């Protein structure tokens, strides 16, 4: 009986299992699915190597050009500009291209504006014209090349208060207030002369050269009186050679002019030309036993031409203002303007800040040196020798008693001053 019951139970269980399978019971479990990749974690099969960083593009080197009226190593005006160009290369990582001896004698049949085009062809984006006789050419070039920046050194085309103002957006005029330097040089000469006779070796005659010769005279007259002498007794003679430096057959020979001064009682000669040839002539005469000396011009190291006869050198330092101008061309802040920059009175020989300086020469006595220092201190404190009464060479009143000259009256001085000997205009 019990065996039959067990068999019946087993049979019923088997039948129930068959029914459940036939009716579709739960399927076997599948393996769990992989989670969807997030933005932070990509599927392993799609991972790419990280991109390599591209090297930043090198900035294009800024190229500027310079036209020099004389040799780049003239120990004067042109060398002062050339070394300012080297200063820009050092400060800005820029590149200078230049042409020197840009004058009718050395480059006949060419004009400065044509030569400036050559610099542009070499990549120049800014061109510096460094001489007053390039003024018209610089204007022509600037107008024909409005996308090239132009600096006209010593010019006044974009001076809004000047006589020849033009709106030339890509031009800037830059000049140092050398009137101060010439006053200091004139002072050194007056404190050193034994004869009371000073010669001035002048280049060509224009507004610039008249006012600088006159400034040397004002400084000489002031210090001559300070030293206890009668200022009216001081003789100050200007001889113009006809250009910025000697051109054989065209100009007077500056060596001969210097010799003429020295051998006729003018024991100190101030150079107003582009190189210190007066020093060389003084050195020859001093070797013969004559007590003569000279004042150089333009270039900080000009006294090295003949240190034993040099009283000092008023010099231009173009670097600081050129740096500002070229930097503005590079960064896009350029503005057309007229810049007439004076000395940094805190230190007139700071080559990073002062546009005009004065280096004393070995032949300047200790006593005279101390008086020159006093004079510089007076100038720094506001002494203005361009204060009336001042008459022009022909006796015409120019500044009334106590009247201070305007910038225009100084810049455009029409004649030499009363008390000066020499031509005020070309014959």
- Sorted by where each begins, the domain ranges of the chain are 63-176, 179-315+358-421
**Across 5-9, 273-277, 293-297, 332-336, least confident range:** 5-9
Task: Evaluate whether 63-176 and 179-315+358-421 have a shared fold.
Answer: yes
Residue 132 contacts residue 205 (beta carbons within 8 Å) = no
Whether the per-residue pLDDT at 61 is higher than 60: the answer is yes
pLDDT of res. 56: 57
Angle between helices 319-331 and 77-92 (to 10 degrees): 40
Q: What is the mean pLDDT of residues 44-56?
A: 53
**Average pLDDT estimate for 135-164:** 98
Average pLDDT over residues 157-180: 98
Average pLDDT over residues 320-349: 98
Which CATH code fits 63-176?
A: 3.40.50.2300
What tens digit of pLDDT does each residue of 372-423 get?
Answer: 999 999 999 999 999 999 999 999 999 999 999 999 999 999 999 999 999 9
What pLDDT is attached to residue 211? 98
| pLDDT recorded at residue 209 | 98
Q: How many CB atoms sit inside 10 A of residue 423's CB? A: 15
Residue 16 is predicted with a pLDDT of 36
CATH classification of 179-315+358-421, choosing from 3.40.50.2020, 3.40.50.2300, 3.90.1310.10, 1.10.340.30?
Answer: 3.40.50.2300
Of residues 210 and 12, which shows the higher confidence score? 210
pLDDT (average), residues 187-206: 98
pLDDT for residue 20 is more than 70: no
At 19 the pLDDT is: 34
Once rounded to an integer, what is the mean pLDDT over residues 239-268?
98
Residue 200 near residue 239 (C-beta atoms within 8 A): yes
pLDDT at 427: 81
pLDDT of res. 4: 39
pLDDT band at 203 (very low <50, low <70, confident <90, very high): very high
Asked whether residue 38 carries a pLDDT value surpassing 60, the answer given is no
Which pLDDT does position 216 carry in this prediction? 99
Average pLDDT of every residue of the chain: 90
Read off the pLDDT band of 59 (50, 70, 90).
Answer: confident
pLDDT in tens, 87-144: 999 999 999 999 999 999 999 999 999 999 999 999 999 999 999 999 999 999 999 9
Structural contact between residues 288 and 314, judged by C-beta atoms closer than 8 angstroms = no
């Amino acid at each position: 009986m019990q065996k039959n019951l067990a068999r019946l139970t087993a049979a019923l269980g088997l039948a129930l299992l068959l029914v459940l399978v036939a009716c579709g019971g739960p399927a076997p479990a599948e393996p769990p699915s992989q989670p969807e990749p997030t933005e932070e974690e990509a599927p392993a099969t799609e991972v790419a190597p990280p991109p390599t960083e591209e090297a930043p593009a090198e900035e294009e080197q800024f190229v500027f050009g310079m036209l020099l009226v004389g040799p780049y190593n003239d120990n004067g005006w042109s060398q002062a500009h050339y070394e300012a160009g080297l200063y820009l290369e050092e400060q800005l990582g820029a590149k200078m291209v230049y042409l020197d001896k840009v004058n009718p004698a050395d480059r006949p049949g060419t004009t400065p504006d044509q030569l400036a085009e050559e610099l542009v062809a070499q990549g120049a984006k800014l061109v510096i014209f460094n001489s007053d006789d390039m003024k018209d050419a610089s204007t022509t070039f600037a107008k024909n090349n409005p996308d090239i920046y132009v600096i006209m050194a010593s010019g006044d085309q974009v001076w809004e208060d000047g006589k020849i103002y033009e709106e030339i957006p890509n031009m800037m005029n830059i000049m140092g207030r050398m009137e101060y330097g010439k006053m200091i040089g004139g002072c050194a000469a007056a404190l050193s002369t034994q004869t009371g006779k000073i010669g001035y070796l002048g280049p060509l005659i224009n507004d610039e050269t008249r006012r600088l010769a006159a400034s040397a005279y004002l400084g000489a007259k002031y210090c001559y009186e300070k030293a206890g002498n009668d200022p009216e007794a001081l003789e100050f003679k200007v001889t113009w050679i006809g250009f910025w430096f000697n051109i054989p057959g065209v100009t007077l020979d500056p060596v001969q002019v210097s010799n003429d001064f020295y051998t006729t009682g003018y024991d100190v000669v101030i150079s107003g030309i582009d190189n210190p040839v007066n020093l060389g002539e003084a050195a020859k005469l001093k070797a013969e036993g004559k007590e003569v000396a000279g004042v150089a011009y333009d270039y900080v190291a000009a006294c090295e031409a003949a240190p034993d006869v040099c009283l000092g050198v008023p010099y231009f330092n173009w670097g600081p203002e050129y740096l500002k101008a070229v930097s503005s061309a590079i960064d896009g802040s350029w503005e057309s303007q007229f810049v007439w920059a004076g000395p940094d009175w805190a230190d007139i020989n700071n080559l990073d800040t002062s546009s005009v300086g004065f280096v004393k020469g070995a032949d300047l006595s200790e006593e005279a040196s101390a008086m020159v220092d006093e004079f510089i201190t007076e100038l720094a404190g506001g002494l203005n020798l361009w204060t009336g009464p001042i008459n022009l060479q022909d006796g015409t009143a120019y500044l009334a008693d106590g009247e201070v000259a305007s910038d225009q009256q100084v810049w455009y001085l029409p004649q030499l001053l009363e008390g000066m000997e020499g031509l005020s205009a070309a014959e």
